[in-house]
Amino acid sequence: MDKLFKNLDQLIEKYDYFIIMAHAHPDLDALGSSLALYKCIEAKNKKVSIFLNKDAKLDDSLLKGVQRLDDIDFVDERNYKIVDNTLLFVLDVHSDKRLEYPEILNEKIDVAVLDHHIRRKDYIKNTVYMYINSSLSSMIEMMTNYLVYTGTEINSIIASIMLAGMEIDTNEYNLKTTSKTYLAASNLMKYGADIIFKQELLKENMDEYIKRADYIKQSFKLNDEIAMCVLTDQVEQPILAEIADDLLKLNNVEASFVVGRIDNGKVGISTRSMGKINVEKIVSKLGGGGSTTNAAAQLDMSLTEVRKKLIQLLGE
């Protein structure tokens, strides 16, 4: 990754002011990696802001983190300013539609993209720099390495946020986790990550937990290996993914398929696999995508139709 870091050093050298922006509905990987990049830029005596609407309805864990940060310059759509020689760093996302504030791309501004998601067709065009490495566990793994490379120090609050973010993105060190991921975690501990604060950040709402447990109770096995859950309530797509993750933790589940109506009026599918069953292959037949062990789709069909179609595909 040294080549990437050399490029980042050169980019930071070239511009005077930086805005860091991640995806809409930011998570701890988005925030944690933004904070690390912020500190690296600041250490080079350059001006930098993180674009995050602190008044927007933020995820609980994100709010707990943001509240503990005092020396970070946050901007949002109401007060951000673009000066001469500004670079927009886009982190943890590379599709224009998924940006926290896509309208910023209409400004005359240079854009650099750093991401760890599988490359999509609707990536941001005309960037001055783009680095996408979907084999990386998280943006935090990338940015922890950049902290080490540049010798930049961070405080215990940021280190804890980063450790929590990496734990979420790897699904507790199960997904895309390599020896380098653990090395990054070890480095975050060296920076003073606090295990208690990290646990605070990862605590979840009891009602949401019970609701998810209810859905899991309604799940059924399609055969010896596949678990399925069909949600009758309308939910947000991340809930489908969380249930799919939970089902995969159970004995004799090689793959999990979760289907439910989501907020945009479509029917969402979230799938997870231990590796033996290629869920991407199945979901791609319905217009979705992802990786062999983690894939999703959104369809303009009724819940019953999707369920039927999916069971039929799984039967093949």
Q: In the window 189-228, what residues touch Mn ion (CB under 5 A)?
A: none
Supply the minimum distance, in Å, between the C-beta of residue 76 and Mn ion: 21
- Residue 304 structure tokens: 């019953």
Residue nearest to Mn ion (CB): 29
| Residue 17 CA neighbour count, 13 Å, CB half | 13
User: For residues 29 and 242, which CB has a smaller minimum distance to Mn ion in the complex?
Assistant: 29
Supply the minimum distance, in Å, between the C-beta of residue 60 and Mn ion: 18
User: For residues 167 and 280, which CB has a smaller minimum distance to Mn ion in the complex?
Assistant: 167
User: For residues 92 and 280, which CB has a smaller minimum distance to Mn ion in the complex?
Assistant: 92
User: For residues 19 and 143, which CB has a smaller minimum distance to Mn ion in the complex?
Assistant: 143
Helix, coil or strand: residue 64: helix
Neighbours of 18 (CB within 10 A): 23
Gap between the Cα atoms of 227 and 260, Å rounded: 15
Interaction pattern, residues 154-173, with Mn ion; x per rule: CB under 5 A: ---------------x----
Gap between the Cα atoms of 307 and 260, Å rounded: 9
Nearest to 80 by CA among 46, 112, 49, 126: 49
Nearest to 129 by CA among 146, 106, 112: 112
92 binds Mn ion (CB under 5 A): yes
User: For residues 91 and 243, which CB has a smaller minimum distance to Mn ion in the complex?
Assistant: 91
100 binds Mn ion (CB under 5 A): no
Given 12, 19, 29, 184, the residue binding Mn ion (CB under 5 A):
29
The conformation of residue 47, written as its DSSP 8-state character, comes to E
Stretch that binds Mn ion, among 15-23, 27-35, 206-214, 275-283 (CB under 5 A): 27-35
Stretch that binds Mn ion, among 36-44, 89-97, 201-209, 266-274 (CB under 5 A): 89-97
Nearest to 243 by CA among 232, 230, 258: 258
Sign of the torsion formed by the C-alpha atoms of 24, 26, 32 and 35: positive
115 binds Mn ion (CB under 5 A): no
Binding residues (CB under 5 A) for Mn ion: these are 29, 92, 169
